[in-house]
Chain A
């Protein structure tokens, strides 16, 4: 029986947001709370296809990517995960939790100068999620978080785009431009936007509340 607009038995939930916005922490909490309620949960993160992720990392290390190959490699990674993991799991009735979805590609690729219609076409076969949470974080908070944890990375700072040769400035410009893109997508794709500066447990409460609303309708029973 078709239950959702994507037509699969399972539930597709996405957490979006820029780097350092707390996505993976929330994903982990959501996963545990769903498993505690005896639901089958599958998690998939951005850029993790066994086939392509290593190529992307290696190419980034060696600075081999231009804007077009950057877009296409991520699209290939996505296609591989979608067809080999995500859709099979949805078909079997899992709750699929995704750390980033094609909205990430839309934001990043457009900031890198790609035509938005071209990027949309690359992902036009992807099923629509049932819920998209967006962790909204101001750039100054993001900067502090990232400097305090992983440090500034070349691509996360958009250094490949050539906004500035200064890491700090480049990060600020790049992340602001990404945020602008996310801002545009919020309404268009019906994101549930959550203030990312709230505490971890506050955010989790909001997310699990939204998920619970869907579960309470009995769709996965």
Chain B
């Protein structure tokens, strides 16, 4: 692990949010974006599995349920590498605040929950830049499921159905996401990740996040 544990020297600031689906991380990130923009900051936003190079292929392959855990992991790494080299790193060099909805930690949590070796996947993402601030939104799998699956069945991969944990997608979701959460919790110390309780109000979480970011920006000499 080289770069992910070393402070970067770019002028910009990298903020990441992590957590399982339904933990409210995207809501918080978009509130943060609007606030930063209103303050005249240069901000870009990037999300998991969205690179034009590969994201459509990955989505298609997911629909056909044809991915092994390792191929799944490498395809997401391609997506991440593409965005890191073409979007994130140039923006950081240009002094932007980069907001990332999910980062390499998503891969570490999900891939390892699928049985991929933790050291292997960390090595694969060795080129990732260490964020200035990473926030993990802690939620229990049941609440997450109630939030995202109130009107639909969990999807094949999000329920970890590829692991054959249970034939019932709801039950499989709970088992799989519990594993993902365990992986996230192991990472809190390893990568200096801040944990927030997803059950707190939208307002109180946003206040907390703004406070943390303001401090980081001040240390870099950026006024808000």
Q: Interface of A with B (CB < 8 Å)?
A: 51-52, 55, 59, 64-66, 68-69, 72-73, 75-76, 79-80, 83-84, 115, 118, 121-122, 124-125
Q: Given A68-B85, A72-B77, A118-B126, is A125 in contact with B70 using a C-beta cutoff of 8 Å?
A: yes
- CA–CA, A55 and B57, complex, Å: 8
Contacts A69-B85, A83-B68, A115-B126 given; 13 further ones with Cβ under 8 A?
Answer: A51-B66, A64-B52, A64-B53, A66-B86, A68-B81, A69-B78, A72-B124, A73-B54, A76-B78, A79-B68, A118-B127, A121-B123, A121-B124
Q: Are A84 and B57 in contact (CB under 8 A)?
A: no
- List B contacts of A76 (CB < 8 A): 71, 74-75, 77-78
Residue of B nearest to A55 (CB): B57
Residue of B nearest to A118 (CB): B126
Q: Given A69-B85, A76-B71, A79-B70, is A51 in contact with B78 using a C-beta cutoff of 8 Å?
A: no
- Which residue of A55, A64, A65, A83 is within 8 Å of B70 (Cβ)? A83
A-B contact count (CB 8 A): 65
Q: Pull 27 A–B residue pairs with CB atoms less than 8 Å apart, ordered by A.
A: A51-B57, A51-B61, A51-B67, A52-B75, A55-B53, A55-B57, A59-B53, A66-B85, A66-B86, A68-B81, A68-B84, A68-B127, A69-B53, A72-B81, A73-B78, A75-B74, A79-B68, A79-B71, A79-B74, A80-B68, A83-B68, A84-B68, A115-B126, A121-B120, A122-B74, A124-B120, A125-B120
- Size range of the chain B interface in the assembly: 20 to 34
- List B contacts of A75 (CB < 8 A): 74
- CA–CA, A106 and B159, complex, Å: 36
Q: Which 6 A-B pairs have the closest CB atoms?
A: A76-B74, A68-B81, A121-B123, A83-B68, A72-B78, A79-B71
Q: Are B120 and A80 in contact (CB under 8 A)?
A: no
Q: Interface of B with A (CB < 8 Å)?
A: 52-54, 57, 61, 66-68, 70-71, 74-75, 77-78, 81-82, 84-86, 120, 123-124, 126-127
Residue of A69, A73, A75 most packed against chain B (CB within 10 A):
A69
Min CB distance, B87 to chain A, in Å? 12
Min CB distance, B91 to chain A, in Å? 16
- List B contacts of A115 (CB < 8 A): 126
- List B contacts of A73 (CB < 8 A): 54, 78
The secondary structure that dominates the A interface is helix
Q: Given A76-B71, A83-B68, A83-B71, is A55 in contact with B85 using a C-beta cutoff of 8 Å?
A: no
- List A contacts of B61 (CB < 8 A): 51
- CA–CA, A125 and B69, complex, Å: 13
Residue of B nearest to A84 (CB): B68
